[in-house]
Structure 1
Amino acid sequence: MPDFYDRYSPHAYIDYSRVYVRHPKPKREYILPRGYLELLEQKRYSLSTIKAYKIYFSDFMEYHKGQDLDLLTVEDINSYMLHMVKEKHISATQQNMRINAIKFYYEKVRKGKRQYYGGIARAKEYKALPEVLSREEMKSIFAQLSNRKHRCMISLIYSAGLRRSELLNLTPQDIISERMLIRIAGKGKKCRYSLLSEKLLNELRDYYREYRPQKWLFEGEQAGEQYSPSALVKILKEAARKAGIKHRVHLHMLRHTFATHLLEQGTDLRTIQELMGHTDIKTTAIYLHVSNAYKAKIPNPLDCLDDD
């Protein structure tokens, strides 16, 4: 092959990319204390939380490698957190999540007292306003979804205000057509109900007849296998790109858009709170800041001067 290349190099090139075998990236193994993972599963923590806790507590153990975990002090834990903040530049959200992963071991697995953590400084999280899409942008996204399964998934997230994990955890039995409701196993093991669109119900029936899911409402290539979260992300990203939307679009934005559009249609905050599964109505009230309709109803003080 090199002789062939030397002879024809002015006119051709050899693509070696097909020659090399691409080996799958090895999965990281997490060595955790006995009972840590088991208790997370027993308490029915979400898959995403379990994954995060595994990573974060493994990092904590690696930082204090060779030391007895049960002999570590608050100062040792603070030393680790300071390292993560200053050297690794983790966000406030991740900082608090890492503290929770450590707390879980000492308070739940080892059944220690909560005041053990009195000295750990928690970061104050910056609460940005939710990003939402306009109705025109939503229409343009749906126009790009020719695949029925893809269209049903994205439609459900938007029309019911679902989190990604909530959509993927749905079963066919969670679609309660006689009451036009969707049963959702939500965050923190809370069950709630949200709206089922009449337009979407017909689409879901066609989808069910075509795909015949066995366990989950939306399954992967293998029957009974949950649909891939990363594949779902790509579906929306590609649809937004084809729709010509220049700014970043992500799945959770559809949940924010659901709440904002309901507010703009005149739905009261308490109802939106229940549909979203918010414990505190203050969380729901943040959508008042992004609702154009709500702002449009506020009279400008300058325009009111002549009324006095």
Structure 2
Amino acid sequence: MSDFSEDGTNNALVGKFWHNYVSVLKRFGIPDRSQPWYRKHVQQFIDDHPHIKLREHRPESVTLWLTRLSNNATLPLWQYRQKVDALRLLFRHMLGADWATEFDWTYWSDACQPLDNTHPTVARAYESKSAGAERPGNLLGQRFPADYTRFVAAVRIADLSINTEKSYLGWINRFLRFHNDRGPSACAEPEVASFLEHLAVKRKVTGATQAQALNALVFFFARTLERPLGDIGHFKRPKPHQRVPTVLSRTEVAGILRPLQGQTGLMTRLMYGTGMRVMECARLRVLDLDFDYRKITVHEAKGKKDRVVPMPTSLIEPLKKQIAWVGLKHEGDLQAGFGGVFMPDALARKYPNAARELRWQYLFPASRIGKDPRSGTRRRHHIHPSVIQRAVRDSARKSGITKRVTSHTLRHSFATHLLESGSDIRTVQELLGHSDVTTTMIYTHVLGKGGHGVSSPLDRLDT
């Protein structure tokens, strides 16, 4: 151990050091079976810095060490996270280093989660019409590959999103299983009606879920089997349940954002300040930011639509620092033999060298170099959206907010607070990317404007 000599003179100090560290591990509930691993990670860090005492370390040395580990493809994900946690407990809770409180441990621990091969960013990039047929649970692809190929082709021609494709395929597989794996050619209106009745009566699913199942089957019969459904009996399309969105007050939003720091804090503030969805924020690239006009371009949002949102003035400097940080990370990736970023096939062919340019890099990159789940290429993807979703949820719980809060609640709050401050509803519609203003009108109900702007008669009683 570099901080102590090995000649026996400081054995007592070494023993005390590890005793104190193990005490910290126990205080934070680290299982006994994991404690030797934590000690091993700290020892590795010490051995890799033989000329620096632990109390002399600064964020830069920890960042460089974690960055170097992130390029190791053989290091399991759980072990990488454990190394981060081992250093967090060491520097923040045992040594009490001043910088360790502000260090973005969450980013290094949570943002290393890789994208899987069904993630919307990469799901279609390399997939042929027959790919995925043998995926577990895909009954249509395994038993009826010709129908599956036609289904995928129909979805792609219609330019439906990957999430819609996955949802439709799921309902088609459930439909086939309900009818004991009967072939699609043997099914017609009576089979569809009985399946929908089963969902409503036995499974007691909501009207929106019934409508989704019906949409999937209508598409499948009309566009894949080319046998449009006729009368399906007494079943009627359920009336959609229009829910009032959860909206946070400004005080509640501040309570959620206040403890979130680093990249996670910047992303959550950007989502509330612009109304972006979590995937839209995660997919931002450096070139999407325009500081001169103070705007951010959101590409291929829901419905394959681009839109422009205003850049919050309070985030201009943090965003510039983020770009500078991304530039340093990208330079290190290039020197390590990586540096290429994922690009959709059309852009990759049109701009073959663009993947290694800084402007195309993700604004919020993952903390680890990861293997592309489709091509196998090792590159740095964007941060996984679940990191932000979990951070918002945990922060809301710790803030004592009893409402059901998700990352999307920040978008609802953005729209409501704009209307509260007098913004025109058409402007809010454009900023949110809604096709129809009636979708945006839901926020006027939240505000209690119009005919709903009344006071309760109870408040006027003289009791």
Contact 2:322 2:363 in 1 (8 A): no
Q: 1:202 aligns to what?
A: 317
Q: 1:105 aligns to what?
A: 220
Match of 2:139 among 31, 35, 53: 31
Give 1:30 deviation, angstroms: 1.7
Q: Which amino acid aligns with 1:105?
A: F
Give 1:37 deviation, angstroms: 3.1
* Deviation larger for 262-271 or 181-190: 181-190
**Unpaired segments of 5 or more residues in structure 2?**
1-30, 35-77, 79-134, 141-147, 331-340, 342-360, 370-378, 458-463
Contact 2:296 2:310 in 1 (8 A): yes
- In 2, the alpha carbon distance for the partners of 1:198 and 1:210 equals 20
Give 1:255 deviation, angstroms: 0.9
Matches within 5 A, 1:56-135: 56-113=171-228, 116=230, 121-135=236-250
Q: 1:306 aligns to what?
A: none
Q: Which amino acid aligns with 2:284?
A: L
Matches within 5 A, 1:83-232: 83-113=198-228, 116=230, 121-146=236-261, 148-184=262-298, 185-212=300-327, 214=341, 215-220=361-366, 221-222=368-369, 223-232=379-388
- In 2, the alpha carbon distance for the partners of 1:110 and 1:205 equals 52
SS in 1 for 2:139: coil
Q: Which amino acid aligns with 1:181?
A: K
Contact 2:415 2:443 in 1 (8 A): yes
* Deviation larger for 79-88 or 165-174: 165-174
- In 2, the alpha carbon distance for the partners of 1:206 and 1:110 equals 54
Give 1:118 deviation, angstroms: 6.4
Give 1:242 deviation, angstroms: 2.6
Contact 1:236 1:251 in 2 (8 A): yes
- In 2, the alpha carbon distance for the partners of 1:77 and 1:129 equals 31
Q: 1:260 aligns to what?
A: 416
Q: 2:435 aligns to what?
A: 279
SS in 2 for 1:65: coil
Contact 2:199 2:205 in 1 (8 A): yes
Q: Relative to structure 1, is the Cα distance of residues 80 and 118 closer, same or farther in structure 2, using a 3 angstrom cutoff?
A: closer
User: How large is the Cα RMSD of the aligned pairs?
Assistant: 2.9
* Deviation larger for 127-136 or 229-238: 229-238
Q: Which amino acid aligns with 2:241?
A: Y
- Deviation per CA, 1:227-265, whole angstroms, max 9, x where unpaired? 323222111011212322232211121111011000011
The TM-score with structure 2 as length reference comes to: 0.54
- Deviation per CA, 1:256-286, whole angstroms, max 9, x where unpaired? 1011000011101111111111222122112
Give 1:158 deviation, angstroms: 1.2
Q: Percent identity?
A: 28
- In 2, the alpha carbon distance for the partners of 1:254 and 1:93 equals 23
Give 1:150 deviation, angstroms: 0.4
Contact 1:144 1:243 in 2 (8 A): no
Q: Relative to structure 1, is the Cα distance of residues 233 and 76 closer, same or farther in structure 2, using a 3 angstrom cutoff?
A: same
Q: 1:244 aligns to what?
A: 400
- In 2, the alpha carbon distance for the partners of 1:121 and 1:217 equals 47
- In 2, the alpha carbon distance for the partners of 1:133 and 1:47 equals 31
Q: Which amino acid aligns with 2:404?
A: R
Q: Relative to structure 1, is the Cα distance of residues 301 and 209 closer, same or farther in structure 2, using a 3 angstrom cutoff?
A: closer
Q: Relative to structure 1, is the Cα distance of residues 59 and 270 closer, same or farther in structure 2, using a 3 angstrom cutoff?
A: same
* Deviation larger for 76-85 or 213-222: 213-222
The TM-score with structure 1 as length reference comes to: 0.79
SS in 2 for 1:90: coil
Q: Which amino acid aligns with 1:128?
A: R
- Deviation per CA, 1:72-111, whole angstroms, max 9, x where unpaired? 2112111111112222222222211112222222222334
Match of 1:235 among 371, 391, 408: 391
- Deviation per CA, 1:102-140, whole angstroms, max 9, x where unpaired? 222222233444x64665522112112121011111111
Contact 1:144 1:242 in 2 (8 A): no
Q: Relative to structure 1, is the Cα distance of residues 16 and 102 closer, same or farther in structure 2, using a 3 angstrom cutoff?
A: farther
Q: Relative to structure 1, is the Cα distance of residues 91 and 301 closer, same or farther in structure 2, using a 3 angstrom cutoff?
A: closer
Q: Relative to structure 1, is the Cα distance of residues 60 and 266 closer, same or farther in structure 2, using a 3 angstrom cutoff?
A: same
Q: 2:40 aligns to what?
A: none
- In 2, the alpha carbon distance for the partners of 1:226 and 1:79 equals 44
Q: Relative to structure 1, is the Cα distance of residues 107 and 137 closer, same or farther in structure 2, using a 3 angstrom cutoff?
A: same
Q: Relative to structure 1, is the Cα distance of residues 83 and 188 closer, same or farther in structure 2, using a 3 angstrom cutoff?
A: same
- In 2, the alpha carbon distance for the partners of 1:166 and 1:95 equals 28
**Unpaired segments of 5 or more residues in structure 1?**
1-14, 19-23, 303-308
SS in 1 for 2:325: helix
- In 1, the alpha carbon distance for the partners of 2:279 and 2:231 equals 30
Q: Relative to structure 1, is the Cα distance of residues 17 and 31 closer, same or farther in structure 2, using a 3 angstrom cutoff?
A: farther
- In 2, the alpha carbon distance for the partners of 1:40 and 1:95 equals 20
Q: Relative to structure 1, is the Cα distance of residues 75 and 164 closer, same or farther in structure 2, using a 3 angstrom cutoff?
A: farther
Q: Larger Cα Rg: Structure 1 or Structure 2? A: 2
